[in-house]
Chains A and B, each alone.
Chain A
Amino acid sequence: MAIEAPVLTTQDLTIRFGGHVAVDQVSCAFERGTLTAIVGPNGAGKTTYFNLISGQLRAYSGTVTLNGEDITRLGVPERCDRGIGRAFQLTNLFPTLSVRENVRLVVQAQARRGFDLFSRADSHIELIERAEHVLAEVHLLDQADQPVSALPHGDQRKLEVAMMIALAPQVLMFDEPTAGMSVDEVPVILDLIRELKNDRDRTILLVEHKMDVIRSLADRIIVLHNGQLVADGDPAEVMKSPIVQEAYLGNAPEDGQEAPAKSASEEVARG
Chain B
Amino acid sequence: MINRLLSGDRPRSRLLAGVLALILIGLAFAPFLFPGTKSLDTAARICIFIVLAASYDLLLGYTGVVSFAHTMFFGIGAYGTALALSSLGPSFTAIVLGTAGGTAIAAALALAIGLFSLRVKAIFFAMVTLAVASAFAVLVSQLSGLTGGEDGLTYKIPRALGPAFKLMDGKIFGVRINGRLLCYYLVFFSALVLFLGLLRVVNSPFGRTLKAVRDNAFRAEAIGYRVVWYRTTATVLSAAVAALAGALLAIWIRYTGPATTLSMEIMIDILLMVVIGGMGTMYGAVIGATLFILAQTYLQTLMASAEHATEALPLIPLLVAPERWLLWLGMLFILSVYFFPDGVVGRLRSRR
CB within 8 Å of B: which of A49-79? 54, 56, 75-77
Given contacts A80-B224, A109-B224, A110-B224, contact A94 B211 (CB under 8 A): yes
Question: Distance in Å from the Cβ of A210 to the closest Cβ of chain B?
Answer: 24
Contact with B along A69-104 (1 / 0, CB 8 A): 000000111001100001010001111110001001
CA distance A118 to B216 in the complex (A): 23
A-B contact pairs, 15 of them (CB 8 A): A56-B218, A75-B221, A94-B212, A94-B215, A95-B216, A97-B212, A105-B209, A105-B223, A108-B208, A115-B206, A117-B204, A117-B237, A118-B201, A124-B205, A167-B223
In the complex, which residues of chain B have a beta carbon less than 8 angstroms from the beta carbon of A77?
A: 221-222, 224-227
Q: When A and B form their complex, what is the total count of cross-chain residue pairs whose Cβ atoms lie within 8 Å?
A: 96
CA distance A115 to B229 in the complex (A): 9
* Cβ-neighbour of B203 out of A94, A110, A122 (below 8 A): A122
In the complex, which residues of chain A have a beta carbon less than 8 angstroms from the beta carbon of B205?
A: 108, 113-116, 119, 121, 124
Question: Distance in Å from the Cβ of B34 to the closest Cβ of chain A?
Answer: 35
Closest to A115 in B: B206
Given contacts A93-B216, A95-B215, contact A117 B206 (CB under 8 A): yes
Closest to B210 in A: A114
**When the two chains form their complex, are residues B204 and A94 in contact, meaning their CB atoms are under 8 A apart?**
no
The answer to whether the Cβ of B129 comes within 8 Å of any Cβ in the partner chain is no
CA distance A110 to B225 in the complex (A): 10
Contact with A along B190-218 (1 / 0, CB 8 A): 00000000001101111111011001101
CA distance A54 to B216 in the complex (A): 17
Query: How many of chain A's residues touch chain B, expressed as a range?
Result: 35 or more
The answer to whether the Cβ of B7 comes within 8 Å of any Cβ in the partner chain is yes
The answer to whether the Cβ of A196 comes within 8 Å of any Cβ in the partner chain is no
Question: Distance in Å from the Cβ of B346 to the closest Cβ of chain A?
Answer: 12
The answer to whether the Cβ of B8 comes within 8 Å of any Cβ in the partner chain is yes
**When the two chains form their complex, are residues B224 and A121 in contact, meaning their CB atoms are under 8 A apart?**
no
**When the two chains form their complex, are residues A271 and B218 in contact, meaning their CB atoms are under 8 A apart?**
yes
Q: Chain B: how many interface residues by the 8 Å CB criterion?
A: 29
**When the two chains form their complex, are residues B225 and A94 in contact, meaning their CB atoms are under 8 A apart?**
no
In the complex, which residues of chain A have a beta carbon less than 8 angstroms from the beta carbon of B237?
A: 117
In the complex, which residues of chain A have a beta carbon less than 8 angstroms from the beta carbon of B7?
A: 120
**When the two chains form their complex, are residues A97 and B211 in contact, meaning their CB atoms are under 8 A apart?**
yes
The answer to whether the Cβ of A231 comes within 8 Å of any Cβ in the partner chain is no
The answer to whether the Cβ of A163 comes within 8 Å of any Cβ in the partner chain is yes
In the complex, which residues of chain A have a beta carbon less than 8 angstroms from the beta carbon of B222?
A: 54, 56, 76-77, 80, 86, 88, 92
**When the two chains form their complex, are residues B204 and A120 in contact, meaning their CB atoms are under 8 A apart?**
yes
Question: Distance in Å from the Cβ of B22 to the closest Cβ of chain A?
Answer: 26
In the complex, which residues of chain B have a beta carbon less than 8 angstroms from the beta carbon of A26?
A: none
The answer to whether the Cβ of B219 comes within 8 Å of any Cβ in the partner chain is yes
**When the two chains form their complex, are residues A121 and B208 in contact, meaning their CB atoms are under 8 A apart?**
yes
Question: Distance in Å from the Cβ of B350 to the closest Cβ of chain A?
Answer: 13
The answer to whether the Cβ of B233 comes within 8 Å of any Cβ in the partner chain is yes
In the complex, which residues of chain B have a beta carbon less than 8 angstroms from the beta carbon of A120?
A: 7-8, 200, 203-204
The answer to whether the Cβ of A165 comes within 8 Å of any Cβ in the partner chain is no
**When the two chains form their complex, are residues A105 and B212 in contact, meaning their CB atoms are under 8 A apart?**
yes
Question: Distance in Å from the Cβ of A153 to the closest Cβ of chain B?
Answer: 17
Given contacts A77-B224, A77-B226, A271-B218, contact A114 B203 (CB under 8 A): no
CA distance A94 to B208 in the complex (A): 11
Contact with B along A8-38 (1 / 0, CB 8 A): 0000000000000000000000000000000
In the complex, which residues of chain A have a beta carbon less than 8 angstroms from the beta carbon of B203?
A: 120-122
CA distance A115 to B7 in the complex (A): 17
Given contacts A114-B205, A121-B204, A122-B203, contact A92 B216 (CB under 8 A): yes
**When the two chains form their complex, are residues B200 and A118 in contact, meaning their CB atoms are under 8 A apart?**
yes
Given contacts A77-B224, A92-B218, contact A115 B212 (CB under 8 A): no
**When the two chains form their complex, are residues A106 and B8 in contact, meaning their CB atoms are under 8 A apart?**
no
CA distance A77 to B223 in the complex (A): 7
CA distance A164 to B326 in the complex (A): 54
The answer to whether the Cβ of B155 comes within 8 Å of any Cβ in the partner chain is no
Known: A97-B212, A114-B230, A120-B203. 14 other contacts (CB 8 A): A56-B222, A86-B222, A88-B222, A92-B219, A96-B211, A97-B211, A97-B215, A105-B208, A115-B206, A117-B206, A117-B207, A118-B201, A122-B8, A167-B224
In the complex, which residues of chain B have a beta carbon less than 8 angstroms from the beta carbon of A101?
A: 208
CA distance A93 to B216 in the complex (A): 7
CA distance A92 to B226 in the complex (A): 17
In the complex, which residues of chain B have a beta carbon less than 8 angstroms from the beta carbon of A86?
A: 222
Given contacts A97-B215, A115-B233, contact A106 B223 (CB under 8 A): yes
CA distance A97 to B237 in the complex (A): 23
CB within 8 Å of A: which of B293-320? none
CA distance A77 to B228 in the complex (A): 11
In the complex, which residues of chain B have a beta carbon less than 8 angstroms from the beta carbon of A115?
A: 205-206, 229, 233
Question: Which 8 A-B residue pairings sit nearest by Cβ, starting from the closest?
Answer: A80-B224, A94-B215, A76-B221, A109-B224, A116-B205, A113-B205, A117-B206, A114-B209
In the complex, which residues of chain B have a beta carbon less than 8 angstroms from the beta carbon of A92?
A: 216, 218-219, 222
**When the two chains form their complex, are residues B206 and A116 in contact, meaning their CB atoms are under 8 A apart?**
yes
In the complex, which residues of chain A have a beta carbon less than 8 angstroms from the beta carbon of B208?
A: 101, 104-105, 108, 121
In the complex, which residues of chain A have a beta carbon less than 8 angstroms from the beta carbon of B233?
A: 115
Question: Distance in Å from the Cβ of B61 to the closest Cβ of chain A?
Answer: 11
**When the two chains form their complex, are residues A109 and B223 in contact, meaning their CB atoms are under 8 A apart?**
yes
Closest to A96 in B: B215
